Amino acid sequence: MSDPNAAPDPAQRGARTPEPGAHVWGPRRIVCLTEETTEWLYLLGEEARIVGISLSVKVGEAAYIPLAHSYAGVPEQLDAAEVLVALRPWLEDERHAKLGQNIKYDSHVFTNAGIAVRGYVHDTLLQSYVLEAHKPHSLESLALRHLGRSGLSYEDVCGKGAHQIPFAQVDIARATEYSGEDSDMTLHVHEVLWPQLREQAGPGILAELSLLPVAAVAAHLGMKCRLVQEKWVPWEDPVNDKVGNILLSRMMGADSRLDPAGFDIGIRDSWKDALREVEESGGTPYAIPAGASEHKFGGLGFANWAFEVAEQEKALGVFFDTIVVCTVTGSTHAGMIAGFAALEELTGVKRRVLGIDASATLEKTRDQVARIARHTAELIEVGRDIRDDEIQVLEGWAGDLYGIPVESTMNAIAMGAQLEAMITDPVYEGKSLAGLIDLVKDKDIPADSNVLYAHLGGQQAVNAYHRLWDPSA
């Protein structure tokens, strides 16, 4: 793969001589692109608007273009529409390499302005995920960890809590310092992380890094994917082996194998057989166990999720003292425990992370959650052991068998669907929602609590249970 930092050969990119006076946004080097927005509105579901744009092409240098600052005595600014029209050819040209930190958000913002940015080749957020999944990925954390740099925080320029102001009301000189620093540090972090990625991954590394389900990732990367689908649920619906995730995986080209082995959260012979078959056919398998529970990095995704929650809390002005999540194979719940333990060490603030057992193998699940949580805590350097009181796997809603709904499951599914149009399933979320409802009713969760309910998906599974809602059945 070619180095996206290198200037392309003009002959290869079909370069043309520009007309006199035309703007030339050349692909001479990678450009770090950052925009400042009405971010607080975006997090509340509104459309973020661009307040200013920052660019950096050399570490230590940056430029800020103020467009929509609004406060008493604000200096005259360039017309936002004219600036975006001038920048559009460069922004929408994929030949011009661009860099960002969390480009998913950046792309969303430009889309709101009617611009489809092309040419993103690097995202320092994703670079960090690949190199150090167990550590925080904010620009502030990356700059401090890899550069020894600390800069202005959003709170430094906008304030916090009830006194926080929108970025549009920030003094332009102060905004220039903050935004220019952001784009400069992003470029600087990239120059440190990208060589490490190339060294570790070798010549086959991709410029675009995505976090998608296994079959989707394999399809995107052009890799073969073999999935072993064990018969965990004794549910004899005539389509239960043809719909849901099985259907989607097959659509994406995965070799989906059905195995008659029943439910167990541990490693099975079917797993070992699949690895052996791949090796015997000349392939090199990368093994991911069910729920990533036996993978050494299985808990890291939701450990990082805890920090994402904290960032959004800060932006929204809320605090969740209680988190409720379904737990079966354990890595999601365990990762949350470790992540919030790390936050407790940093802030001194405790939270409850309540796992609702849906496995019907309570002790196995509890032991697995504890093991993964403690291992993950070591990986992210919490600095202490996970306490027993932090590992709460609650029973009472799983029923007798994994995947088989009971009365409380169906009542919870109906309540969520009919009151909020929130779809839950009979396997996971119907049971965790039932647990949440009862915990609130019984005041195990006090009335003054702020509860974050982690909905893990599962809607696809509803298709396999259609007769539960079939009026003719």
Q: How far apart are CA 117 and CA 186, in angstroms?
A: 18
Question: What is the predicted pLDDT for the residue at 39?
Answer: 59
307 vs 134: which has the higher pLDDT:
307
Same domain, 55 and 87: yes
Question: What is the predicted pLDDT for the residue at 11?
Answer: 33
Residue 112 has pLDDT above 80, yes or no: yes
Residue 370 has pLDDT above 70, yes or no: yes
Residue 144 has pLDDT above 50, yes or no: yes
Question: What is the predicted pLDDT for the residue at 433?
Answer: 97
Question: What is the predicted pLDDT for the residue at 470?
Answer: 80
* DSSP codes, 190-237: HHHHHHHHHHHHGGG--S------HHHHHHHHT---EEEEE-------
Residue 259 has pLDDT above 90, yes or no: no
Mean pLDDT of 406-416: 95
Same domain, 269 and 364: no
Which residue is it, tokens 């991911």? 288
Average pLDDT over all residues of the chain: 82
What are the pLDDT digits (tens) for 22-64? 333 333 478 999 888 875 444 433 467 899 999 999 999 999 9
R_g of the chain computed on alpha carbons: 25
Distance, CA of 259 to chain centre: 31
Residue 124 has pLDDT above 60, yes or no: yes
Q: What is the CATH number of the domain that holds 373?
A: 3.40.50.1100
Residue 453 has pLDDT above 60, yes or no: yes
Same domain, 74 and 166: yes
The residues, ordered by sequence, that sit 6+ positions from 394 with a Cβ below 8 Å of its Cβ are 354, 355, 356, 357, 435, 439
Residue 307 has pLDDT above 80, yes or no: yes
Q: How far apart are CA 470 and CA 441, in angstroms?
A: 30
292 vs 173: which has the higher pLDDT:
173
Same domain, 284 and 325: no
Mean pLDDT of 212-217: 62
Q: Beta-strand (E) ranges in 291-448?
A: 322-327, 352-357, 392-394
**Structure-token pair, residue 408:** 């409380």
Residue 381 has pLDDT above 90, yes or no: no
Q: What is the CATH number of the domain that holds 135?
A: 3.30.420.10
The residues, ordered by sequence, that sit 6+ positions from 213 with a Cβ below 8 Å of its Cβ are none
* DSSP codes, 1-52: ---TTSPPPTTTTT--PPPTT------SS-EEEEEEE-HHHHHTTSPP-EEE
Last residue of a domain, one of 143, 169, 204: 204
Question: Which of 306, 310, 326 has the alpha carbon at shortest distance from 318?
Answer: 310
Same domain, 305 and 409: yes
* Identity of the highest mean pLDDT range in 5-9, 315-319, 364-368: 364-368
Strand bridging mode 31-37 / 50-58: antiparallel
Residue 288 has pLDDT above 80, yes or no: no
Question: What is the predicted pLDDT for the residue at 54?
Answer: 96
Domain containing residue 143: 31-204
Question: What is the predicted pLDDT for the residue at 357?
Answer: 96
The angle that helices 362-379 and 331-347 make with each other, rounded to 10 degrees, is 50
Sign of CA dihedral 97, 103, 107, 109: negative
Question: What is the predicted pLDDT for the residue at 200?
Answer: 63
Q: How far apart are CA 42 and CA 167, in angstroms?
A: 13
Lowest-pLDDT choice from 226-240, 309-323, 422-436: 226-240
Which residue is it, tokens 């999601």? 332
Contact 352, 451 (CB under 8 A): no
Same domain, 243 and 382: no
Same domain, 49 and 165: yes
CB atoms within 10 A of CB 400: 7
Contact 117, 96 (CB under 8 A): no
Lowest-pLDDT choice from 119-123, 149-153, 281-285: 281-285
Question: What is the predicted pLDDT for the residue at 299?
Answer: 85
Question: What is the predicted pLDDT for the residue at 416?
Answer: 94
**Structure-token pair, residue 299:** 């808990």
Same domain, 316 and 433: yes
Question: What is the predicted pLDDT for the residue at 204?
Answer: 34
Residue 129 has pLDDT above 80, yes or no: no
Contact 331, 298 (CB under 8 A): yes
Last residue of a domain, one of 204, 239, 265: 204
Q: Is residue 153 in some structural domain? A: yes
Mean pLDDT of 252-278: 74
- Count up the domains in the chain and report the number: 3
Same domain, 156 and 178: yes
Q: How far apart are CA 123 and CA 99, in angstroms?
A: 6
Same domain, 221 and 343: no
| Complete edge-to-edge strand list for the sheet that includes strand 31-37 | 61-66, 50-58, 31-37, 98-100, 120-123
Residue 473 has pLDDT above 70, yes or no: no
Mean pLDDT of 141-166: 89
Last residue of a domain, one of 253, 268, 288: 288
